Amino acid sequence: ARAPLLTPRGASSSSTASTLSSSRTACPSPLSTRLSALCPRRPTASTTTFSEASRNLNANDLKTLRDHPDVEYIEQDAIITINAYTQQPGAPWGLGRISHRSKGSTTYEYDTSGGSGTCAYVIDTGVEASHPEFEGRASQIKSFISGQNTDGNGHGTHCAGTIGSKTYGVAKKTKIYGVKVLDNSGSGSYSGIISGMDFAVQDSKSRSCPKGVVANMSLGGGKAQSVNDGAAAMIRAGVFLAVAAGNDNANAANYSPASEPTVCTVGATTSSDARSSFSNYGNLVDIFAPGSNILSTWIGGTTNTISGTSMATPHIVGLGAYLAGLEGFPGAQALCKRIQTLSTKNVLTGIPSGTVNYLAFNGNPSG
């Protein structure tokens, strides 16, 4: 049978092309020797490890090779490129920190495709979807607060900005969906929060999120089994969920949903690589991320700088979306493990015994 002619995506055809050929059979001499006999032109590349070789061919040579019984296929040569890493100078310190192994940088280094194909749910006070920083990628889709359908607080919009806004976001290509479970004063019921979690799971099934679904819960209260069960159900449904460890300088085991073992529980750090004085800790904390003095989007099309494990958590949700966009979605719990594996180890101060010393890192190859 005639050997097929393969054309890589994006390559153009021509009568004379640099072409890769693969042999059907193992033979004592490399394929380039056979090419020399069939088409006596100077080869551009050859290999003795694989039965393949490259040569510039005209139309007649190409026909001769395609008709030869020992040629398995012919493929037009093409150009590949490195990943599209870019730099954002003057970025918020948190973005600089998670893209470098050492503290002090305010340049965010990231792959421009990060977050593409993912969906991020912000279960909070809502999201101001019209904020220009979201570039049309954000939607406020549901409220469980009677008479309040938008973010009248700012907290949820701030978290969403750290996840995926143009300037302040980790994953600048993700799509953001706001689910309002906290009122404009920042309070909400356990039942409303549980309803919001279930809604996010069900809604995500109708969205186009080929690289996975992530969710942010920068909220918490006293330990409640019902809230933990709702969070665990999101994980079982395949949603990566990061939650705030809490702001009481106490053990996260006494708070929900931070105490749910299957979620990714996030503590907060300062720009000097210290645990934030307010950040909860303990063996249920999975990862630390920047949480003190974080600049991000705010209601009214503005920005604001605030602190909390609430601000650390969206760094991790954004990082989850970023990695899923680049590497594919490995599963909800596996994504938290991936973030732990990538993290910068043992650089934080003020970490109590029994708490991980892991600081989030995005895998920047030059970091």
CA 278 to each of CA 257, 268, 297: distance values in angstroms, whole numbers, following the listed order: 17, 8, 22
Q: Is pLDDT at 13 greater than 50 in this prediction?
A: no
More confident residue, 367 or 159: 159
What is the distance, to the nearest Å, from the Cα of residue 81 to the centroid of all Cα atoms in its chain? Answer: 21
pLDDT for position 67: 83
Identify any residues that bridge with 265 across adjacent strands, giving them in sequence order: 243
Lowest pLDDT segment from 16-20, 129-133, 171-175, 218-222: 16-20
pLDDT for position 356: 99
**In a 10 Å sphere around its CB, with 0-12 CB exposed, 13-18 middle and 19+ buried, how is residue 100 labelled?**
buried
Rounded to 5 degrees, what are φ and ψ at 206?
-100, 0
Q: Beta-strand (E) ranges in 112-246?
A: 118-124, 138-143, 175-180, 212-217, 221-222, 239-244
Label residue 230 by pLDDT band (50, 70, 90): very high
pLDDT for position 73: 74
Can you tell me which residue has the tokens 């490259």? 54
Query: Which of 118, 85, 84, 83 is closest to 100 using CA atoms?
Result: 85
Active site residue 124: yes
Token representation of residue 218: 């920068």
- What pLDDT digit, counting tens, does each position of 271-289 carry? 999 999 999 999 999 999 9
pLDDT for position 249: 99
pLDDT for position 41: 52
Label residue 119 by pLDDT band (50, 70, 90): very high
Query: Which of 258, 316, 305 is closest to 284 using CA atoms?
Result: 258
Q: Is pLDDT at 118 greater than 80 in this prediction?
A: yes
Q: Is pLDDT at 12 greater than 60 in this prediction?
A: no
Q: Is pLDDT at 128 greater than 80 in this prediction?
A: yes
**Which H or E element spans position 338?**
helix 332-342
Instruction: Tell me what the mean pLDDT of segment 335-357 comes to.
Output: 99
Catalytic annotation, pick one of 165, 279, 310, 343: 310
pTM attached to this predicted model: 0.80
More confident residue, 285 or 21: 285
Token representation of residue 311: 């601000």
Label residue 40 by pLDDT band (50, 70, 90): low
Q: Collect all residues with Cβ–Cβ distance below 8 Å to 319 and sequence separation of at least 6.
A: 98, 170, 171, 289, 339, 360, 362
Binding residues: 263, 265, 286
Query: Which of 170, 178, 66 is closest to 114 using CA atoms?
Result: 170
Can you tell me which residue has the tokens 């940088």? 105
pLDDT for position 81: 52
Token representation of residue 242: 């990061």
pLDDT for position 59: 80
- List, as one string, the DSSP characters of 4-25: PEE--TT----SSEEEEEEESS
Residue type, position 94, single letter: G
Lowest pLDDT segment from 66-80, 157-171, 186-200, 302-316: 66-80
Q: Is pLDDT at 308 greater than 70 in this prediction?
A: yes
pLDDT for position 7: 55
Query: Which of 172, 183, 179, 254 is closest to 217 using CA atoms?
Result: 179
Cβ(163)–Cβ(196) below 8 Å:
no
Rounded to 5 degrees, what are φ and ψ at 123?
-95, 100
- What pLDDT digit, counting tens, does each position of 54-110 carry? 667 778 877 887 888 777 777 777 665 555 789 999 999 999 999 999 999 999 999
pLDDT for position 45: 52
Binding residues for Ca(2+): 263, 265, 286
pLDDT for position 27: 45
Q: Which domains does the chain have, with CATH numbers?
A: 5-76 (3.30.70), 85-359 (3.40.50.200)
CA 137 to each of CA 117, 119, 320, 330: distance values in angstroms, whole numbers, following the listed order: 12, 10, 17, 24
Eight-class DSSP state of 366:
T
Label residue 16 by pLDDT band (50, 70, 90): very low
Instruction: Tell me what the mean pLDDT of segment 317-342 comes to.
Output: 98
Catalytic annotation, pick one of 100, 131, 155, 158: 155
Active site residue 315: no
For strands 287-290 and 138-143, give the pairing. Answer: unpaired
